Structure 1
Amino acid sequence: MSLLEAAALWVGLNALLLIVLSGRVGMARMKNQVNLGDGDNPAMLKAIRTQGNYIEYAPAALGGLVLLALLNAPIALIHTLGALFFLARLSHLAGLGMGVWSQGRMLGTVGTMLTLLITGISLIYLAIF
């Protein structure tokens, strides 16, 4: 597996996750008959924010994976960061979006921030050295 293929794997898995998150918003809209906004409905708001939170962090995390691949970072680093981000976002979904795991939101947030921190430091290191 090449470096770009490794990054593509994680970007692809995250694209599928985005479809799931978007589908949850659409289903909540139909169920609650809310065309725009959250309709002052807590379930609607959770679905919207779970998707929105993902959208806020995914570009930096996934773009970082692609840049790491282009800068010839170790493939283990790309897979580790890709897996960490993907699992963090699944945890966040379980905690905030579905409410089935009380620690999921916190672990998802920590995992996302850790991914961004390591990605950022790695990109800076590879750019300079």
Structure 2
Amino acid sequence: MIVSTFAAILAILYIQLSFRVIKIRKAKRISLGDGGDASLQAAIRTHANFIEYVPFSLILLFLLEYQGLPSHFTYILGAMLLVGRFCHSYALADEKADEKMQLRVVGMVLTFLMIFISSVMLLITQVF
């Protein structure tokens, strides 16, 4: 049940990222591709990066919760993913993304750490 909450919140963030791409496409009148526009390229990559990491991360978290991971650990891992994805998305949402590189790095570190910890925990539960 905990993973469902994180999945719902992340789905809302995903919709927001999708609308950002749509908004820029409409404003720049670019229906396909990125037209060489830097702001659209950033929005597309932010959206794509989100969808590349979040589903797999949620599957790992779900498996841990399903196997009986204590709720406080599930909340911690879910919060790492949520904060990581928010930081990463926020850092790339601005045309001055280079100035927010540290926030982007924090986002990726939290995401990778969550995936790594979840993976190790799943392996440990299978071995023991």
Normalized against structure 2, the TM-score is what?
Answer: 0.92
Runs of 4+ in 1 over 2 A off after TM superposition: 97-102
1:60 & 1:124 partners in 2: Cα distance?
Answer: 16
Asked if 1:126 is matched to 2:125, the reply is yes
Cα deviations by residue, 1:83-123 (Å, 9 ceiling, x for unpaired): 01110111101212223734211111111110111011111
- Structure 1: stretches of 5+ with no match in the other structure: none
Cα deviations by residue, 1:31-65 (Å, 9 ceiling, x for unpaired): 11110111100000000000000111111111111
* Alignment correspondent of 2:74: 78
1:67 & 1:92 partners in 2: Cα distance?
Answer: 25
Percent identity over paired residues:
33
Q: After the TM superposition, which residues 57-76 of structure 1 pair with which residues of structure 2 at under 5 Å, given as runs?
A: 57-76=53-72
* 3-state secondary structure, aligned to 2:100: coil
1:23 & 1:94 partners in 2: Cα distance?
Answer: 14
- Structure 2: stretches of 5+ with no match in the other structure: none
Q: After the TM superposition, which residues 43-58 of structure 1 pair with which residues of structure 2 at under 5 Å, given as runs?
A: 43-58=39-54
Normalized against structure 1, the TM-score is what?
Answer: 0.92
| Cα RMSD, aligned residues only | 1.2
Matched-pair contact (CA < 8 Å) for 1:88–1:108: yes
Asked if 1:89 is matched to 2:85, the reply is yes
Q: How many residues align?
A: 125
AA partner of residue 26 (structure 2): M
2:68 & 2:21 partners in 1: Cα distance?
Answer: 37
